[in-house]
Amino acid sequence: MRRSLPAATLVVVGLLLLVDYVVINPTLAAIADLVLELVVLLAAAAALAGGAALVLRHGAQLIEERGERAGSMALLTGFAVVLVAGLYPGSHGATDPAVRWLVAALLAPLIASLFGLLFFFLLGAVRRATLLRTREGSLMLAAAALVLVLLLPIGGGAGDWLAGAAGWTLAVPIGAAFRGLLIGVAIVTSVHAARVLLAVNGVEE
């Protein structure tokens, strides 16, 4: 089994952060903090490289007149506007009023519109589940109907009871299922990544 230096480094860093999370030790905590700072710097460098690659790709599409030119123009324009708002002389970066206005007036409505489309996708999923008549589909419909009933805008004592029940439902059963799903996905992803990195079962790098 052949282990490369990047794979070994990744495994060591992961184990170090895991041990620091479990064991309370000042020296270990200082080393873990230093490693986290390095990871943040690497992530920032990767983000910059990804942004540069994105700009180069869409710029090439505009120059060569290929692909979705309107989308490339919109992406590059938005990229440039946000960079100028955050990097002009005297700017306060992400806390600058111009950046805050761009986020509040443009990005937030766009994101809200995308989430608004989820309602129509949900209707499509309900229709398919009804046609298939599966147990999972019936369970999903029952849960969706229960949440809709709990979130009805009703006043008075009934409204207060529904609001309390909705808060408990979101915090306890739905929150527990969501956290369990995240933990399961994280464990499976970590195990699979370790198998690939360590070339287990004949998987070579």
**Can you state the angle between helices 135-150 and 108-132, rounded to 10 degrees?**
130
φ/ψ of 67, rounded to 5, equals 75, -165
Question: Residue 168 in contact with residue 177, Cβ under 8 Å?
Answer: no
* pLDDT, position 6: 67
Which residue ranges in the chain fall short of pLDDT 50? 1, 203-205
* pLDDT, position 200: 58
CA–CA dist 39, 22 (Å, integer): 20
pTM for this predicted structure: 0.55
pLDDT tens per residue across span 114-165: 888 887 887 887 788 778 777 877 887 787 788 778 777 777 788 888 888 8
* pLDDT, position 1: 46
